[in-house]
């Protein structure tokens, strides 16, 4: 009995969390499987993955340099944990299933290669040779191939599916760039025009191709056009045509192709998920079913169902469980059929906000005071619309005060007043509403308000204590207090209905954006690892007061007089993983990416452009479009 209940629980919770694992159904395997899916185990996996990824902060080129033995030890621990997790998984599912699953093969591959690389690197370093930690580019792929990375795998699958269509459009686009470049070469090449820095204009075919690729991204507009425009106004036709065709039409085409595929694929995925969920619920039913009545109909009794629900959702209240049962067993038979049982999966997923009509704690303690006329007046006041308006007005006035100079004593004293008013608001609300309702899980804005106000209050108190104690003001504490103060203004958004709707949409698409964040992390990490190997130490940043020479050309004479150095981009380098990520973000934003590229090609070789163009294709053309497709679809569904 306990075993069949365990099995049914596993099926139901797999259906709930859309897990798609064909585990062994032997009692022992089921117990192992339950352990495998325990939240602590899952959290541990992510802790190890994040630790493993974070090693890049300590490894050469490091943010915080640490001896190799330390990073190696941490990495070995992480890799061992991954191995243990995989062995656990192998014990849960049948052998033939295990070896057929590409994600397991990938996982083994990554872990093995990491061990090999680590050994080789350690040996090379011990012998004093040069070594490259090439397996670091594989690390983020663990995020994809881990059992829990379902959403991320789906995102990658959707990219893979869109890839053929994207590549057709991309080749046509590249063909167009090549043809336009040929025209540009012949139109401008022989006219002896000069660019703003005095170099010859449009005379080398491959330079033109790159320049026009950059123009497609708009990053060198209108500068690239100016010499031709200054020569003759008719030449602008060439550039206008180019921008209309390549920037607007092709770029919209890319979005359209991605969106089209995403939509098509999403529908198919949802269909598959629903099918798999139903299948699992049927399996759970067949485990728990009993013949009932004269017809021998297969049913599940309320008692069994209750036990199941208690195991699947331990935190569910009895009232909630009873409610669900009454929905399923609408004829009050005491047992349900297959159809109703399958439905119970969706019912269990619904978030029910249980409004307990309990009395306010103060009413229990001081019934006489709480029911007095004065108390009733407070209740009435807090619930009145004017209360909201008054506080909106206070926030607006506060906004003006925030804009003023905080060293003015009037302003800094007013801050205490505002804090008192906000605390009063929270206290009044807590007086009028049951605190358990006020701080219910879905009450986003109440939590937001309280945290912001209390944090600001604490910060202000600490700051003024420090000031009185030693006349010392911490800039950091002031900054943090200040940010809390400004965040209070965000509350205004909640007062305007239309804004609230937009914010709710944003909150709802949050989980999707999280998946997207992981996707971006994987791609950034890979490019950062490659970028660091290619460009580390080539461009240096010196503090403004540094006495070391070469500050004006980022410590590399090859950058003398370049736009990169002139714009003071020295800190945009690949000298550690954090600055690499910042450079990649700047490249994602696209603006000035050709200047960044020019800096790195100047200190290495012109072929370094490949790295940057590849990044542009992968991140801007593919991933950002996927992101927009994400948001478009989420918006169309939610808004």
CB of 184 to Na ion, least distance (A): 21
196 binds, among a second copy, Na ion, none (CB under 5 to 8 A by kind): a second copy
From 218-226, 303-311, 326-334, 533-541, span contacting Na ion (CB under 5 A): 218-226
CB of 573 to a second copy, least distance (A): 12
Question: 510 is written with which tokens?
Answer: 């949050």
Report the residue number, 248 or 389, with the smaller CB distance to a second copy: 248
Which position has the token pair 């104690």? 469
CB of 501 to a second copy, least distance (A): 8
- Contact between 222 and Na ion by CB under 5 A: the answer reads no
Interface pick for a second copy out of 469, 544, 545, 548 (rule CB under 8 A): 544
Whether the Cβ atoms of residue 122 and residue 68 lie closer than 8 Å to each other:
yes
Report the residue number, 9 or 220, with the smaller CB distance to Na ion: 220
From 64-72, 80-88, 457-465, 477-485, span contacting a second copy (CB under 8 A): 477-485
Interface pick for a second copy out of 41, 90, 266, 402 (rule CB under 8 A): 402
Cβ atoms < 10 Å from Cβ of 233: 9
C-alpha torsion sign, points 269, 270, 275, 277: positive
For strands 335-336 and 290-292, give the pairing.
Answer: unpaired
Whether the Cβ atoms of residue 161 and residue 522 lie closer than 8 Å to each other:
no
Cβ atoms < 10 Å from Cβ of 324: 20
Report the residue number, 142 or 225, with the smaller CB distance to Na ion: 225
Full DSSP string of 65-107 = ---HHHHHHHHHHHHHHHHHHHHHHHHHS-HHHHHH-HHHHHH
Residues 161-220 that bind a second copy (CB under 8 A): 168-169, 171-172, 175, 179, 182-183, 185-187, 196, 205, 218-220
- Contact between 591 and Na ion by CB under 5 A: the answer reads yes
Interface pick for a second copy out of 4, 200, 221, 302 (rule CB under 8 A): 221
- Contact between 233 and a second copy by CB under 8 A: the answer reads yes
Report the residue number, 218 or 349, with the smaller CB distance to a second copy: 218
Interface pick for a second copy out of 483, 507, 514, 610 (rule CB under 8 A): 483
User: Of all residues in this chain, which one has the CB nearest to Na ion in the complex?
Assistant: 591
H, E, C per residue of 460-511:
HHHHHHHHHHHCCCCHHHHHHHHHHHHHHHHHHHHHCHHHHHHHHHHHHCHH
Residues 6+ apart with CB under 8 A from 89: 36, 98, 104, 147
455 binds, among a second copy, Na ion, none (CB under 5 to 8 A by kind): none
- Contact between 580 and a second copy by CB under 8 A: the answer reads no
CB of 207 to Na ion, least distance (A): 20
Nearest alpha-carbon partner for 254 in 246, 244, 242:
246
Compute and round to an integer the Cα radius of gyration of the chain.
31
Interface pick for a second copy out of 255, 282, 394, 428 (rule CB under 8 A): 255
Interface pick for a second copy out of 5, 57, 243, 307 (rule CB under 8 A): 243
- Contact between 369 and a second copy by CB under 8 A: the answer reads no
Interface pick for a second copy out of 347, 489, 526, 618 (rule CB under 8 A): 489
Residue length, the chain? 639
Which position has the token pair 């033995």? 69
- Contact between 158 and a second copy by CB under 8 A: the answer reads no
From 85-93, 413-421, 435-443, 488-496, span contacting a second copy (CB under 8 A): 488-496
State the Cα–Cα distance between residues 22 and 6, nearest whole angstrom: 15
State the Cα–Cα distance between residues 606 and 596, nearest whole angstrom: 13
Report the residue number, 128 or 198, with the smaller CB distance to a second copy: 198
Question: 254 is written with which tokens?
Answer: 């890319």
> Interface with Na ion by CB under 5 A: which residues?
218, 591
């Amino acid at each position: 009995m306990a075993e069949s209940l365990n099995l049914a629980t596993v099926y139901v919770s797999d259906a709930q969390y859309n897990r798609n694992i064909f585990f062994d159904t032997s009692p022992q395997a089921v117990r192992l499987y339950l352990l495998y899916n325990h939240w602590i185990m899952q959290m541990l996996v992510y802790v190890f993955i994040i630790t493993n990824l974070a090693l890049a902060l300590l490894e050469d080129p490091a943010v915080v340099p640490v001896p190799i033995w330390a990073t190696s030890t941490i990495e070995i621990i992480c890799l061992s944990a991954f191995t243990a997790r995989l062995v656990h998984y192998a014990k849960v599912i049948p052998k033939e299933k295990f070896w057929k699953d590409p994600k397991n093969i990938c996982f083994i591959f990554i872990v093995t290669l990491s061990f090999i690389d680590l050994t080789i690197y350690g040996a090379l370093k011990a012998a004093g040779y040069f070594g490259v930690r090439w397996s670091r580019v594989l690390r983020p792929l663990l995020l994809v191939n881990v059992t829990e990375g379902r959403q991320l795998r789906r995102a990658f699958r959707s990219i893979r599916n869109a890839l053929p269509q994207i590549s057709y459009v991309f080749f046509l686009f590249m063909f167009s760039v090549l043809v336009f470049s040929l025209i540009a070469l012949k139109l401008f090449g022989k006219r002896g025009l000069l660019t703003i820095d005095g170099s010859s204009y449009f005379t080398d075919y491959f330079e033109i191709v790159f320049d026009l690729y950059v123009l497609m991204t708009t990053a060198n507009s209108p500068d690239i056009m100016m010499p031709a425009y200054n020569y003759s106004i008719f030449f602008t036709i060439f550039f206008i045509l180019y921008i209309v065709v390549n920037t607007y039409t092709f770029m919209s085409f890319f979005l359209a192709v991605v969106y089209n595929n995403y939509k098509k694929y999403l529908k198919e995925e949802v269909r598959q998920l629903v099918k798999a969920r139903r299948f699992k619920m049927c399996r759970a039913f067949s485990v728990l079913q009993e013949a009932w009545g004269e017809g021998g109909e297969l049913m599940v009794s309320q008692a069994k169902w209750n036990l199941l629900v208690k195991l699947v959702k331990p935190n569910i209240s009895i009232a909630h469980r009873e409610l669900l049962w009454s929905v399923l067993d609408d004829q009050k038979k005491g047992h349900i059929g297959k159809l109703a049982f399958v439905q119970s999966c969706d019912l269990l997923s619904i978030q029910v906000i249980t409004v307990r009509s309990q009395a306010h704690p103060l009413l229990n303690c001081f019934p006489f005071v709480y029911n007095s006329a004065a108390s009733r007046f407070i209740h009435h006041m807090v619930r009145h619309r004017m209360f909201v308006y008054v506080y909106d007005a206070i926030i607006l006035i506060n906004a003006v005060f925030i804009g003023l100079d905080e060293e003015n004593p009037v302003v800094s004293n007013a801050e205490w007043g505002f804090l008192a008013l906000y605390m009063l608001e929270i206290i009044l609300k807590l007086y009028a509403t049951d605190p358990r309702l006020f701080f219910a899980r879905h009450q986003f804005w109440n939590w937001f308000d309280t945290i912001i106000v209390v944090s600001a209050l604490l910060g202000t108190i600490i700051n003024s204590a420090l000031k009185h104690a030693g006349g010392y003001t911490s800039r950091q504490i002031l900054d943090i207090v200040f940010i809390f103060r400004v965040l209070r203004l965000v509350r205004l958004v909640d007062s305007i209905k239309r804004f609230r709707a937009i914010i709710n949409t944003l909150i709802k698409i949050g989980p999707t954006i999280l998946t997207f964040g992981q996707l971006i992390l994987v791609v950034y990490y890979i490019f950062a690892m490659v970028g660091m190997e290619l460009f580390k130490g080539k461009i240096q940043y010196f503090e403004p007061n540094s006495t070391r020479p070469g500050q004006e050309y980022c410590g590399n004479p090859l950058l003398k007089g370049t736009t990169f150095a002139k714009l003071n981009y020295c800190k945009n380098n690949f000298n550690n993983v954090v600055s690499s990520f910042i450079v990649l973000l700047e490249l994602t934003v696209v603006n000035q990416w050709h200047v960044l590229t020019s800096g790195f090609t100047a200190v290495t070789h012109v072929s370094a452009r490949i790295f940057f163009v590849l990044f542009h294709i992968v991140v801007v053309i593919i991933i950002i479009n996927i992101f927009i497709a994400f948001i478009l679809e989420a918006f169309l569904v939610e808004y």
